[in-house]
Amino acid sequence: MTFHVERIDHVVLRVRDLAGMVRFYEQALGFREERRIERLSLVQMRAGASMLDLIASDAPATAPNMDHLCFRVEPFDRDTIVMQLAPFGISVGETVERYGAEGNGPSVYFRDPEGNQIELKGPAL
């Protein structure tokens, strides 16, 4: 058994001006705010079938601003994911339920060979 990537589910950007960035994506690109989690300073915006998550950050402007990139995979089977990534020296974190473009569903996190955080997300439960 194997899995395949269907599409980008969401991208999470760290932003210094949360309100300004929400306005920009609403007005310039027509995104709409779908969900806000105040305790995390997080705004989740609908971008067609995908999501753009904006999270407030006080990191300097020169710091990387992508928190992680999430791919929607099918089927979501943790054992298969672990076996498929193991030959590349990738270890996968625990399976957790997270919110994405389709709603809550299972996901795992890992880092690619250059250190970018990647999330693989299954279908909504």
The pLDDT tens digits of the residues spanning 83-108 come to: 999 999 999 999 999 999 999 999 99
Model-wide pTM > 0.75: yes
CB 96 within 8 A of CB 18: no
Mean model confidence pLDDT for the chain: 94
Q: Give the up-direction half-sphere exposure of residue 52: CA atoms within 13 A in the CB hemisphere.
A: 20
Helix ranges (H only) for the chain are 18-29, 78-85
Mean pLDDT, rounded, for 75-89: 95
Domains of the chain: 4-121 (3.10.180.10)
Q: pLDDT grade, residue 61 (50/70/90)?
A: confident
Least confident among 6-15, 77-86, 97-106, 111-120? 111-120
